[in-house]
A and B are shown apart, each in its own frame.
Chain A
Amino acid sequence: MIIRNHLPALYFAVCIAHPAFAGSDDVNFSRDILPLLSNNCFSCHGPDEANRESGLRLDKPDSAKAKLESGHVAIIPGDSADSELFRRLISTDADIQMPPHDSGKSLNKSQIALIQKWIDGGAEWSGHWAFQPPVRPVVPAAVEDWQQHNPIDNFIHAKLKTRNLSPESPAAKETLIRRATLDLTGLPATIPQVDAYLADASEQAFERVVDRLLDSQKYGEHMGRIWLDAARYGDTHGLHLDNERSIWPYRDWVISAFNSNQPFDQFTVEQIAGDLLPDPTLRQQVATGFNRCNVTTSEGGSIDDEYYMRYAVDRVETTSTVWLGLTAGCAACHDHKFDPLTQKEFYQLFSYYFSLTEKAMDGNALLPPPAVKVPTGTQLADKQKYTQQLADTDQQIAAILADFKYVDPKPTEPLGELSSEEFVWIDDNTPPGAMLAGDGTPPWQFVEGPDHPVHSGTRSHTRTGAGLNQHFFTAATEPLVVGENSKLFAWVFIDPNNKPKTLQLQFNDGSWEHRATWGDDLAFAAGQDSETNRGMGPLPEAGAWARLEVNAEKVGLQPGAKINGWAFTQFDGTVHWDNAGIISESLSTEQKRSQFAWEQFRKSVKAPTLSEAIQKSLDIESATRTDEQNQQIATYFLQHVHPDSQTLLAEPLQQKTKLQQQLDDIEKAIPSTLVMQDLPEPRQAYVLERGQYTEKREAVSSAVPTWLAPPVPNAPENRLGLAQWLVQSEHPLTSRVTVNRFWQQFLGTGLVKTSEDFGLQGEQPSHPELLDWLAVDFVESGWDVKHFLKQIMMSATYQQSSNVNPEKVAIDPDNRLLARGPRFRLDAEVIRDQALAVSGLLIETIGGKSVKPYQPAGLWKPVGFGGSNTATFVQDKGDKLFRRSMYTFWKRTVPPPAMATFDAPDRETCQVRRARTNTPLQALVLLNDVQYVEAARKFAEQVMMNGGTEPGARVVYAFRSVLSRLPTETEQQSLSNLYEEYLSGFRGDPEAATKLLAAGESSRNEELDSPELAAWSMVTHVLLNLSETVTRE
């Protein structure tokens, strides 16, 4: 007997029956019955073995029809009355009734009737539709008198016919070109483009438009921007400090992949496993950034193992959502409750992503490894040029040295006393390249004598603060190199009237874990007397300059360490700092004339500046060195040590330094991007009980769920094998899920509405045969995306009018059957880009580092972590204010507000379907955000300069710029009136006009009359706010 369960009521009964899909009289198991069983029964009687009640399993026919321990049989084909399942569905006895009352689930009468009909009809079983490979279905016969352009229309029309609906007539040409241009490029059609299309009376007119748009570079930007939601692309790490990360070359790769129409299977393989392809190109490595877009942390105190686990889980969930349309994440904790994915299979997928060389803690770094450099063409050419010049210079040096004829004056004399050399790094200025930071504004306060104590030069830097506070820099371009017995020093002056409790110097060689503390141990890393924080004793005397000094090795800086950053930290008090640097031992000038002396010195005091090769040669006894090694050492000595030969070489050496610097600058300017790379030996993955990283169970290795699609023969057991499995032609999901997402993009809703879930809990497709036809066609076309999109756009279904007909609404409220063209609000980015385009502000450069256009002050600060490099928003200037929105810097913990208001996701997790809300906050953005006020006034300039001289003509120009169509007579009239009214208003209040025309940072065309321009700005601002403007009709 079926025992009542006591599980908490997790799932709410939702009736999935949709009016649009009803119709067929036959009971279809996969369409009608399986969703009911899944939704109401599988929680306790499904694939999840651990939570299965009474041994009854309803997701498999054998067990559903087998005799249970209790002696009952849940389903007896042909006999609903004796089927225990049916008896319990109709029972009113609370002890017997199924689903149990406290589960919160229930079936309605028609659903129960469906089940009865199915059992009585033989209880035929089939698998879930989405797990069977698609087969190209027969295209339905054309409905007479309706226009079919391609098979899409046959499928759509056949269904419409069964519901007594008919398609709409084609949309007006103006509507159509605006629709197509927005859909394919995310930008509005220009007036000349519209005119050209209107003038083209040929049958191919629209096809020409589509071809032109598919060839436009803006197509790749638009398609790429949508893909980046799925890739969860952002410009910051997302967790805790939310520091900047550099992965935009991946974003640019996506754009170019769409523009070059890379076949979708290849697009897939390169993103999942580009690095594992044979001899991967740089581009293929960059593509793997897809799986480095996940959020990462470096929060102090975090435990590595927990995050290795979380990153891998995120990658499985994302891969699964994007390519499989499955909610694999459920199986991280237990066997999937609805789909046949076991927990073990989840961790087999997890294993593919568990062996990266990445560290669990991202170090809050711009480029947490693995990363690759991605030089531009110019950078590569310059690099080649300078490298050649460097070789020429080296030859010149060699020639001079050949003439120098050096003989060691003291070839046997033991090394005498050494002198000490002090190198001051921070004095009146910080070293080149230093990025200054710290508490307060500005973080570094330089002050001059005589009002302030100064130790050397003309100024010192000072700080007053309560509690722990500091100023520091990082990223010095010429690092301070630590040698043997080096000491780091800084001069300090403590204000006798406001003494600090603690002074601390911190040094950065890539990490800040090198600290020396004087006074009470209250500074960062307090209480840890180790090289990360060395206690140095009491504070120096107040009221006088004192020198703080610490042995580099004592704070964990070994010879060779390169210091690029330095922090001056204090707890309370007022402190002046001056003259800081390093002391190292060195030879006297006389000693430098002897190669032997120098060699002795370098053997005892290893110089970190020496290349490894030189140092290696030096370590060999001179007698046993090869000629080549001796030559190498002698050359080095004359070039870099001997004072006389160095004088002779002054000019070429200077040239050499310059060239090296130029090469270095290029090297630094070359952008880098995060990529995937596996450990040489895979990290062992385990099934994790309840998804807890500490609860390891069975060891598993990488494998695909073969019940979905067979493994690819000879595929490697790594991500490449996974990618190949996803794109094999028999895969039931990849092609369906992909075409469905494109359909959603162009027709507003997917054929499967839940484009992220094709599993048993997902919605049934509105047109299953069409979905399969499209999926098969897509694969057979060679996964040709442009071909696929063109097919959609050329269909009569796409091209029909989107006007809403109330009678149709009554039958199909959500327009799932497409008895009219879809209409929906534009995406956040498109709304902004459209305003920039029509106002002439848009900068069309493709790619590059992300930019920071306008956003209201004070958004990052109130929530940002003080030490984060994205805690303070610094707005960009000039062209960067007007780039397409996909290039806007995406800080994930505070996404750009105007984008978020229009439903852009936060990009913390993968998202394949955006919401489309309609809210008052959106109205406020379009009415008041400076971006739109400025766009309106620049748009007005366009209107005045290009729209003719008569107000009437100008209204037409403005109207067509945004909406492509001509205004109606009333629209024309009321906008003209509006203009006249505002004009007379501004004539009487010219100051208001001046203020309004000052919005934004772009310059104003001063030749245009101010009240007129202001009045036109009001008209254009109205146009930018129209419902039609933010809608793709």
Chain B
Amino acid sequence: MTHPIRESELIETRRHFFGRAATGIGSAALASLMNPTLFADSPAPVPGGIGGLAGLPHFAAKAKRVIYLFMSGAPSQLDMWDYKPGMKDWYDKDLPDSVRNGQRITTMTSGQKRFPIAPSIFKFNQHGDNGTHVSELLPHTAKMIDDLAVIKTVHTEAINHDPAITYIQTGSQLPGRPSTGAWFSYGLGSMNQNLPAFVVLHSTVNGGFGGQALYSRLWGSGFLSTRHQGVSLRSSGDPVLFLSNPDGMTVPMRRRMLDELSKLNQERFDAVGDPEIQSRIAQYEMAYRMQTSVPELTDISGESKETLEMYGPDVSKPGTFAANCLLARRMAERGVRFTQVFIRQWDQHGNLPNDIRRQCGIIDQPCYALVQDLKQRGMLEDTLVIWGGEFGRTIYCQGGLTKENYGRDHHPRCYTKWMAGAGIKGGTVYGKTDEFSYNIEENPVHIHDLNATILQQLGVDHERLTYRHQGRDFRLTDVHGKVVTGILS
């Protein structure tokens, strides 16, 4: 019982509302409510998991949970991570045909007469034990480079946002498959019976939303049971949909109603024997517990000043990326299996330098803070943190090119993501791209490989987590995927 004050208030207001005469029934109901097994809103996660598949994890898991920082719109690897100093001499020269080699490009630039090279205007400095080059856009992230495995050779086949983000999130470019988090919930179950196993957070940019669309299929359950779909934790209104009691309904009034419901349902169960009724009684009790556990989760008033400062000033504005990163850590503590934080507006076809400065300004410090916060609490070793988008961006310019300004089109053939924690070898730079960051030279990592690796760290053999649908055993990684052992410690 973590809310003694709330409970005594409950008794008091109950007396106030129902009067002394009613306390007989009220107390009886309260007694059952005080039963710790019925009211276990402890933030302590349940070890193992509730409701996962038998036989899982397949082997000892490095990660208990995952936090996925998703950069929707596709950030430019060229300006943040994939350092190509040689490109300076190529300014406004055409990308050699031998590099593009006839590969398909989007119809946004396929009509361009030229493909002039736009070198990044940003400075790169060396950081960490291995002297890894990181852009000046990411001063905070650069400080923790020794915690990260930077993969420069992630690639995909999709060249547009909708299919590409659907692909990386569900393993298929077309709607209809379960999302990554839904697979985790299905396979591994939940670690906290009062919170969903899979939570999604959407971040504001400069106080608003905009950018490429997201779709509920990205956290949907596809053909898996809908109980595995991601639950959006919202920054305004009810954090979880329909969480708050209606106006005029106090907690004791609601409690009394639930007691009555439970009693009537139990009576019906006695008459007809349908076990679904008992399950429904339990679900109503869990809903009631969520009404406490969710607000407790989103209430950051107990966080120390140092912690808040680490995430930066935005942390106190609900819905910002910084606030969401802190929430992600709080959820990790409470046993949420998979937390996915989305931030949009990385789709920089034009005016890239300005826009990417804004975006990096938003994400850099919170990313750093999240990893460090987890580390300080000893949680990084069993929390997997992933950063990145759905594809990369082109070395050639889209639209007008000047020394200061340029835009970049979609580039699926190579881009950068990083991972940290939970058995990931920090300080690794994995894979090598050509001098144009156009083609991969060494160690390609397909998005299926990436997903296979995430599953692996959770103790799941990606080839054995399957669900039979339409006569076929489906997997997150379809019929592909190879664990990227080169980034594992």
* Chain B residues near A981 (CB-CB < 8 A): 18, 22, 25, 256
> What's the minimum C-beta distance from A193 to chain B, rounded to whole angstroms?
23
Q: In the complex, what distance in Å separates the CA atom of A777 from the CA atom of B104?
A: 54
The answer to whether residues A927 and B254 also contact, given A862-B202, A900-B216, A978-B260 and a CB cut-off of 8 A, is: yes
CB <8 Å contact, B108 and A300: yes
A909 touches B400 (CB 8 A): no
CB of B52, distance to nearest CB on chain A (Å): 16
**Chain A CB within 10 Å, residue with most, of B202, B263, B264, B267:** B264
Q: State whether the Cβ of A407 lies closer than 8 Å to any Cβ in chain B.
A: no
B97 CB within 8 Å of chain A: no
Question: With A754-B471, A858-B234, A866-B210 in contact, is A998–B247 under 8 Å at CB?
Answer: yes
Known A-B contacts A10-B479, A327-B472, A1031-B276; the reply to A927 vs B237 at CB < 8 A is no
Contact of A301 among B160, B202, B238, B253 (CB under 8 A): B160
- Interface pairs (13), CB distance under 8 Å: A104-B464, A297-B160, A300-B106, A338-B471, A526-B399, A527-B399, A803-B272, A858-B237, A900-B226, A900-B229, A908-B176, A920-B290, A1022-B257
B310 in the interface (beta carbon within 8 A): no
> Which residue of B250, B260, B261 has the most chain A CB atoms within 10 A of its CB atom?
B260
Q: What are the residues of chain A within 8 A of B234 when measuring CB–CB? A: 858, 862
Using Cβ atoms and an 8 Å threshold, which residues of chain A touch B275? 804
Could you tell me if B216 and A303 are in contact, using CB atoms closer than 8 angstroms?
A: no
> Would B249 and A996 count as touching, CB distance under 8 A?
yes
**Which of B133-141, B277-285, B360-368, B420-428 participates in binding chain A?**
B277-285
Interface residues of B in 216-251 (CB under 8 A from A): 216-217, 220, 225-227, 229, 231, 234, 236-238, 240-250
In the assembled complex, how far is the CB of residue B248 from the closest CB belonging to chain A, in whole angstroms? 3
Given A104-B463, A1018-B257: 8 more A-B contacts, CB < 8 Å: A11-B466, A468-B350, A901-B226, A918-B276, A923-B283, A924-B290, A925-B242, A930-B246
Q: Give Cα distance in the complex from A590 to B463, angstroms.
A: 86
Evaluate contact between B107 and A863: CB separation under 8 angstroms. no
Q: Does B237 lie within 8 Å of A467, measured CB to CB? A: no
> Are B161's CB and A240's CB within 8 A?
yes
Q: Does B292 contact A (CB under 8 A)?
A: no
Minimum distance in angstroms from B179 CB to a CB of chain A = 12
> How many Å lie between the Cα of A242 and that of B263 in the bound state?
45
List the B side residues contacting A997 at CB < 8 Å.
Answer: 248
Cα A929 to Cα B238 in complex, Å, equals: 11
What A residues does B256 contact at CB under 8 A?
978, 981-982
Asked if A1002 is at the interface of the complex by the 8 Å CB criterion, the answer is no
Contacting pair A924 B175 (CB below 8 A):
no
* Cβ 8 A contact of B261, one of A301, A988, A1022: A1022
A994, B247: Cα distance in complex, Å: 9
B265 at the interface (CB under 8 A from A): yes
Does A669 have its Cβ within 8 Å of any Cβ on chain B? no
Q: Are A903 and B226 in contact (CB under 8 A)?
A: yes
Give Cα A694 to B102, complex, Å: 13
| A1031: B residues at CB distance < 8 A | 274, 276-277
Q: Which A residues touch B468, using CB under 8 A?
A: 12, 14, 761
A228 to B468, CA, bound (A): 24
Asked whether, in the complex, the Cβ of B248 is within 8 Å of the Cβ of A825, the reply is no
Whether A995 contacts B248 by the Cβ 8 Å rule is: yes
Summed over the interface, the residue pairs from A and B with CB atoms below 8 Å come to a total of 307
Q: Are A909 and B175 in contact (CB under 8 A)?
A: yes
In the complex formed, the residue of B with least CB distance to A1014 is B248
Residues of B contacting A242 in the complex (Cβ-Cβ under 8 angstroms) = 213, 215
Are B464 and A921 closer than 8 Å at their CB atoms?
no
Q: What are the 6 A-B residue pairs with the smallest beta carbon separation, nearest first?
A: A761-B471, A995-B248, A301-B106, A527-B399, A996-B248, A526-B399
Residues of A within 8 A of B (CB): 8-12, 14, 104, 238-242, 295, 297, 299-303, 310, 314, 321, 327, 329-330, 337-338, 467-468, 520-522, 525-528, 571, 694, 754, 756-757, 759-762, 802-806, 823, 825, 856-858, 861-866, 868, 893-895, 897-898, 900-901, 903, 906, 908-909, 915, 917-925, 927-930, 933, 968, 970-971, 974-975, 977-978, 981-982, 984-985, 988-989, 991-999, 1014, 1018, 1021-1022, 1025-1028, 1031, 1033
CA distance in complex: A1028, B268 (Å)? 8
Q: Number of B interface residues, CB 8 Å?
A: 102
CB pair B472–A761 under 8 Å, yes or no, is yes
What's the Cα separation between A862 and B209 when bound, in Å? 5
Q: Which residues in B have their C-beta under 8 angstroms from that of A299?
A: 160-162
Q: Which of B112, B231, B473 contacts A11 (CB 8 A)?
A: B473
A413 shortest CB reach to chain B, Å: 50
Q: Are A301 and B108 in contact (CB under 8 A)?
A: yes
Which residues of the partner chain A approach B473 to less than 8 Å between Cβ atoms? 10-12, 14
Chain B residues near A329: list those with CB within 8 A: 470
B contact residues around A1018 at 8 Å (CB)? 253, 257
**Given contacts A8-B479, A299-B160, A338-B471, are A989 and B246 in contact (CB under 8 A)?**
no
Mask of B351-384 contacts with A, CB within 8 angstroms, 1/0: 1001100000000000000000000000000000
State whether B176 touches A909 (Cβ < 8 A).
yes
- Please tell me if the beta carbons of A1026 and B175 are within 8 angstroms of each other in the complex: no
Which residues between 92 and 136 of chain B lie within 8 Å of chain A, taking CB atoms? 104, 106-109, 111-112
Q: Determine if B214 is an interface residue (Cβ-Cβ < 8 Å).
A: yes
> For the complex, what is the distance from the CA of A805 to the CA of B272, rounded to whole Å?
8
In the complex, what distance in Å separates the CA atom of A175 from the CA atom of B39?
35
Q: Is B17 an interface residue (CB 8 A)?
A: yes
Pair B283/A919 contact, Cβ less than 8 Å: yes
Q: B residues touching A (Cβ–Cβ < 8 Å)?
A: 16-19, 21-22, 25, 104, 106-109, 111-112, 159-162, 174-176, 202, 209-217, 220, 225-227, 229, 231, 234, 236-238, 240-250, 253-254, 256-257, 260-261, 263-265, 267-269, 271-277, 279-281, 283-284, 286-287, 290, 350-351, 354-355, 397-401, 405, 407, 409-410, 463-464, 466, 468, 470-473, 475, 479
Q: Which chain B positions have C-beta within 8 A of A762? A: 471
Q: Are A924 and B243 in contact (CB under 8 A)?
A: yes
Q: A467-B354, A985-B18 are in contact. Are A868 and B257 (CB under 8 A)?
A: no
In the complex the two chains form, what is the Cα distance from A897 to B238 in whole Å?
13
Partner of A241 from B104, B176, B213 at Cβ < 8 Å: B213
Quick check: A757 and B470 within 8 Å, CB to CB?
yes
Q: Determine whether the beta carbon of B174 is less than 8 Å from that of A310.
A: yes
CA distance A290 to B253 in the complex (A): 48
CA distance A834 to B246 in the complex (A): 21
A895 to B232, CA, bound (A): 13
Residues of chain B within 8 A of A8, CB atoms compared: 463, 479
Residues A906 and B471 in contact in the complex (CB < 8 Å), given A893-B216, A981-B22, A999-B247: no
Give min CB distance, B81 to chain A, whole Å: 23
A297 nearest in chain B by CB position: B162
Q: Closest residue to A10 on the B side, CB-wise? A: B479
For B471, the chain A residues whose CB sits under 8 A away are 327, 338, 754, 757, 759-762
Which of A239, A338, A984, A995 is in CB contact (< 8 Å) with B19? A984
**Whole-angstrom CA separation of A118 from B257 in the bound complex:** 61
- Shortest C-beta distance, A921 to chain B (Å), equals 7
A410–chain B nearest beta-carbon distance, Å: 52
B135 to chain A, nearest CB (A): 21
* A928 x B237 contact (CB < 8 A): no
Asked if A998 and B22 sit within 8 Å, CB to CB, the answer is no
Contact present for A857 and B237 (CB under 8 Å): yes
Q: How far apart sit A925 and B284, CA to CA, in the bound complex (Å)?
A: 11
Q: Distance in Å from the Cβ of A272 to the closest Cβ of chain B?
A: 21
Q: Report the Cα distance A127→B58, complex, angstroms.
A: 38
Least CB separation from B229: chain A residue: A900
Residues of B within 8 A of A302 (CB): 106-107, 160
Inter-chain CA distance A998–B247, complex, in Å, is 8
Q: How far is it, in angstroms, between the C-alpha of A104 and the C-alpha of B464 when the chains are bound?
A: 8
Given contacts A240-B162, A303-B107, contact A868 B213 (CB under 8 A): yes
Q: Are A921 and B248 in touch, CB under 8 angstroms?
A: no
For residue A947, give the distance in angstroms from its CB to the closest CB of chain B: 18
Q: Give the contacting residue for B400; candidates A526, A901, A915, A933; CB below 8 A.
A: A526
CA distance A468 to B106 in the complex (A): 22
Docked-complex contact A923 and B284, CB < 8 angstroms? yes
